[in-house]
Amino acid sequence: MRHLLSVSFTAICICALSINGSAAESNTVQIAKSYKDGGHYKLAGSGTPEEIKFKNERILAAGTNGTYCSGFTFAVVMRAAEQRNFLKDKTVDQIRVFQKEWYGVTGDTERQAGPAMEKLGIGKSVSAAQALSGDFVQFWRATKSGHSAVFLNWVEEGGKKIGFKYRSTQKSTDGIGDNIEYFNDVPNKKGAVLRDRTYFARLNAK
């Protein structure tokens, strides 16, 4: 009887996830939205909207006079991972390495977020076809600039994905805010995002 109850409970949990989306979808977006819009964009210092501490050790000081993309998304992933208890068995040294890989200083400097989470054992890379609201996205533009963001949703036209909406910090919003960018292969949109250099990653311990 206990076994049957356990199986039934598991089935209910799986069903709930399929209806409501992943846990990453809910808490990651909520956390990203908890940082108020604006605050200025500044590509200097840590770029984070707040001090990042782990086990009473400072990982990064709060950004001064503004934020930038990697700092914003790192603050989001750290808070989300701690809320979901994914970091309880991690060391301070592991988090310091994770931070450098997240920022693209070391490790996979092309995809960044996915490989960094995979190495730490708290997430995985996912394809564009699998992307959900609340995933992290690292993308590159034809202008040779890159961006780290929290993916919100696709922008579609005629059934085709032509761009996406995300939350990060950038010049166009003078700090934290939602933004839309288009792929560079879409006519009349003046997009610069390279479709084949857009990488998604999900905070998920399994």
Supply the DSSP symbol for 188: T
Beta bridge partners of 202: 124
Say yes or no to pLDDT of 60 above 60: yes
For helices 92-102 and 113-120, angle between their N-to-C axes, nearest 10 degrees = 160
- Please tell me the pTM assigned to this model: 0.88
Domain ranges, ordered by start, for the chain: 23-203
Across the range 182-191, mean pLDDT stands at: 96
Grade residue 17 by pLDDT with cuts at 50, 70 and 90: very low
Does residue 1 carry a pLDDT above 70? no
| pLDDT over 70, % of the chain | 86
Residue 5 pLDDT: 33
**pLDDT (tens digit, 9 = 90+) per residue, 31-40?**
999 999 999 9
Secondary element (H or E) of residue 116:
helix 113-120
The candidate with the shortest Cα–Cα distance to 67, out of 28, 32, 96, is 32
Q: Using pLDDT thresholds of 50, 70 and 90, give the confidence band for residue 205.
A: low
CB 202 within 8 A of CB 123: yes
- Does the pLDDT value for residue 20 go beyond 70? no
How distant is the alpha carbon of residue 120 from its chain centre? 15
